[in-house]
Amino acid sequence: MKTNGWISAWCSKIGSSHIEKGLPCQDFSQVKYIRGANFAIAAVSDGAGSCENSDTGSRFLVVNAIRKISVRLVRNRFYADGNPGLDETLWRELAFGIFTELKAELGAMAEKEHLDFRSLSATLILAISDGSFVACANVGDGRAAFRNRESEWFPMLVPTKGEEANQTLFITSDLWDCGRDSEYFWTFFCKNPISAFSLLSDGCEKASFEMLKYDGASGKFFDPNTPFKPFFEPNYQNLLRLKRARARQAKINESWESFIEKWNRVLVSETDDKSMVLSAFVSDDIHEPNS
């Protein structure tokens, strides 16, 4: 392959439990690119199942998170001269500012539309990369992973929970925005080159992550938060094949939707809404087998 750049697949599909209850798909996902630069920006949001307007909340958060980070990347010329100009500290500051703005704007929309603010509750995962680095931020659950240039997959986030066991955090929650150093607001920054990344709502995590492991020393189970390479790697290689075939975005997403809904046993049996983004960076200095 001689063309640098990204190829991405994303979709959000309704779960069977939502269909049975007459609920809409409350997940939303999207990927955008900055024209003239190698930046890919992706976001996934999972609306709270018990909140009647969370589908509106999740769409609002994804669309506006991508818009806001795009504006900042261009305005501050983080992509200029092939140097993203970001580090771990600056990314956390940038991401926290965007997330707090989103919470305030979601509140303003609720007031304007005469909606209960909490009815818009949704999580948010946001990631950016130009292939030379990857950065991620999140409030709430879900998972994220990246692939390095040595074909290894690593986690990018820790699902953030509330003060009580199994309490899900949402953008509408009060805990995470008390300050930039809040333990309930998670950021990740890897300054090394990558070849792919993925974001997903919790409806996809059983198929793609190792989440439960027994520690013989302590006699307890724990969450290793390990990306499952046999899941991610074939899908990554399939994206490269679609890139070589010059597949259009609509065809790529159609194929991805079919995989999520029909071709993975664990995903097919999942009753929750399912969102997943997979983005691969294609570069002349990344050599992959033509398989």
DSSP 8-state symbol, 246? T
Query: Who contacts 151 (Cβ-Cβ below 8 Å, separation ≥6)?
Result: 195, 233
The answer to whether position 94 is within a domain reads yes
Query: Who contacts 200 (Cβ-Cβ below 8 Å, separation ≥6)?
Result: 44, 142, 143, 144, 208, 274, 275, 276, 277
The answer to whether position 152 is within a domain reads yes
Q: Which residues are 282's β-sheet partners?
A: 5
- Give the type of residue at 84: P
Query: Who contacts 245 (Cβ-Cβ below 8 Å, separation ≥6)?
Result: none
CATH number for the domain harbouring residue 191: 3.60.40.10
The answer to whether position 289 is within a domain reads no
CA atoms within 13 A on the CB side of 206: 13
**Helix (H) / strand (E) containing 275:** strand 274-282
User: 139 lies in which domain range?
Assistant: 5-282
pTM comes to 0.93
The answer to whether position 216 is within a domain reads yes
The answer to whether position 287 is within a domain reads no
The answer to whether position 212 is within a domain reads yes
DSSP string, 119-187: GG-B-EEEEEE-SS-EEEEEESS-EEEEEETTS-EEE-----B-SSTTPBP-TT-SSTTS-TT-TTSEE
Quick: pLDDT tens for 161-204: 876 667 889 999 998 999 999 999 999 999 999 999 999 999 99
What's the Cα-to-Cα distance from 241 to each of 7, 131, 224, 268, rounded to whole Å?
10, 19, 31, 24
The answer to whether position 9 is within a domain reads yes
> What total number of domains does the chain contain?
1
Local confidence pLDDT in tens for the 291 residues of the chain:
234 689 999 999 999 999 989 899 999 999 999 877 789 999 999 999 889 999 999 999 999 999 999 999 888 766 555 556 789 999 999 999 999 999 999 999 999 999 999 999 999 999 999 999 999 999 999 999 999 999 999 999 989 887 666 788 999 999 899 999 999 999 999 999 999 999 999 999 999 999 888 778 888 888 899 999 999 999 999 999 999 999 999 999 999 999 999 989 999 888 999 999 999 999 766 666 554
The answer to whether position 132 is within a domain reads yes
* Contact of 268 with 261, CB cutoff 8 Å: yes
